Structure 1
Amino acid sequence: MQASVEKTSAIGRKVSVVVPAEKIETAVQNRLKQLSKRVKIQGFRPGKVPMKIVDQQYRGTATNEVLGDIIQNSLAEALEEQKIVPAVQPDILPEQLEKGADFKYTATFDVYPEFEKLNLEGVKIVKPESEVAETDIDKVIENMAKQQLTWVERKRKCKNGDRVMLDFVGTVDGEEFAGGKADDYAIVLGEGQMLPDFEKGVKGMKGGESKDIDVVFPEDYNEELGGKTAVFKIDVKSVSEGKLPEIDEDFVKGFGIDSGDVADLRAEVKSNLETNLEGQLSSTIRQRTFDALLEQNSAEIPEKMVREEAGRMVEEQKNQMLQQGIDAKLLENFPAPEFETLKPQAEKRVALGLLMMEVINKEGLKPDEDRVNARIEKMASSYEDPSEFVNYYKSNQQALAQVQSLVLEEQVVDLLLAKADVEKEEVVASELLNMQ
């Protein structure tokens, strides 16, 4: 066997292999002998068919069957000899095989890229730090109270924060348009449910009042209405003011806290906020660390790996939509995004995965068992039966592997940050958690 390697790009390789005719013929003859033991040809007993006839009728079948094994074995031998490790499954292009002639084929593939720097020595990383404030707890409880908001009808002009029940009909040049009509439609003024001109026109009206208002649609609204002015006939049926519940014992018990003590509710809210904040802080520093690692390691990434990752991204999106309750039948005709649209993110994910693998292999990292156990225990703490949760994760290899992967990722981040120039930054918890 002869093999030669051509470098087609920074990571692209083309291996040309020549397998001697004698080796091919020997393999074909051995395969024909195996076939002769079970082929059935009229006039001959099983196992007694002359090899000449078997050769005439089954050479093509035997050749096709052995070529797959020959390609697999010869390519493995060539790659080992050349000390090449493909990053993806090679694409094989065989030449037409002629009887008595050497067999030739080429294998094209990408190898793993070589990265320049696998640490962040001297690289500045801003690490956010934050604590939950009493005002953050107040904000959460306020939002909890808003979930139990009740509406009380008022005989006055409406203002921001009021719920207005109304009928409306919109026309452009005297003609009604699709979506421009509704009965018993409720809007809360100031929440931006409707266009600004619409809310401005409704504000100040009372129950039982009617009037026409002009509404200008934004240029980019849609092809039919963009930039046009519509006239809406508004009939206000009622105006209601929101009434928040008292933060008392009944309110607290409504959220599953049997003591009914507001202090216990605040403690529960604080604990949840701290958990969320810890996760957000960890996510932010992890992202900044990995972005810094990517910035100093620009390299060509195997496109086949990128395309496979893009495919996984599409499946992830579909699964998320299914979890949100979207009908699976609707997703059957769901158009997949173009590869070029997904390519930048897919390329980033693949590059980061390869970089992490390099760091892990170079440093000989393995999941820290204590950290794995601690993470599982923490995850279990929010369940009614923590021990059952822990036992499931420790007995389910797939579930355990997911936790081990997360812990290993944390260890990579810790390792990278240890050599980075870390600068701490105080961040307001409510901003980090996007609290409204």
Structure 2
Amino acid sequence: MAEQVPVVSSVSSGPVPLPEVKAPSTEGIEVTVPAPPPLGEDALIRRFHELARALAEVRERKEGEEVVLGDDVQLDVLGYANGQLIPFSIRIDYWMELAPQEMLPGFADAIAGSAVGDSLKIDLVLPANYPVESLRGTPASFLVDLVGAREVKMPDTDSDEFLRKLGRGDTHEEVMESIANELLDEQADVLWLDAQNMVLDELASRTQVEIPPTLVDEEIRRRWMAAEGEALEEKEFSPEEKQEALDLWMKDPATRADVERRLRISLALKAVAAKDKLELRPEKAFEVLEDSAVAFGLTSAQLREALVDPKAASQLQNVAWHLMAVEHVMNKAKVHFEGA
């Protein structure tokens, strides 16, 4: 499925004017998707671990009980650096395996040995590949509430019983071959997403439109509210602290660039749909939504149930329009895959 871009008809809850857009040409779009790196052993081992973990025995840990590496832990997290909230760092009721985190070295080790119900302050240095470029190599502090935890007892992965439950072959070699094939299928899906994004970027580059900063601001505000704003309200942060957190999102160059790109794509698709007189019949809407629902683990019955709710149906209708327009543009584009 194509990455989600803002649906321009619902970007703002207020009257943010949309610019007039002339539909860009969809003729002659041709992209070449680079070949992916070879499938590595690390990826196979990670997937094997995930599959084995899904068959583990799980027990809820009680209030006051210590957690250990390998547990599942439920956390509320707030990150600070340079005396300010770290943008994109807020997590509420966040479940994770208590294991080393590449982006937060030492984070898991600092939590291990604490008890359910504890509040912690974890000091560390953000790594050189931290997503927020301006904070790389910066000392940071994370305030963590250990809300809940589950003890996880991993199965004996060398046993015949484990292989039977896994259902992927009678030997470890067959299991690993099954995993490799699964990962290759997923890699093919990712390559198609890459192709869609390259085509949409080309379409956006052909779209002559000035994106109003107010439109970018409103979309960032909507994203921030969903990701962090509601959590900060729940934690009873002051209006000044919430505004400070929002300002960090507003001023982040990568966030602004990504939002502007997605808005440009959305406006371009809307203009193409109007120019080519695309019609979204009910059966087509359900078809494109059903394909996406499968990717998110939803059944057709669950999708039909969501369509009964007027609010959800309106949102899904916008998503269906977007997906149909992407499909329309992709059918006109030529896509090549290196190494295919």
Normalising by structure 2, report the TM-score: 0.49
Normalising by structure 1, report the TM-score: 0.40
Which of the pair is proportionally richer in strand? Answer: 1
Q: Which has the higher contact order (CA 8 A, sep 6+)?
A: 2
Higher-Rg structure is 1
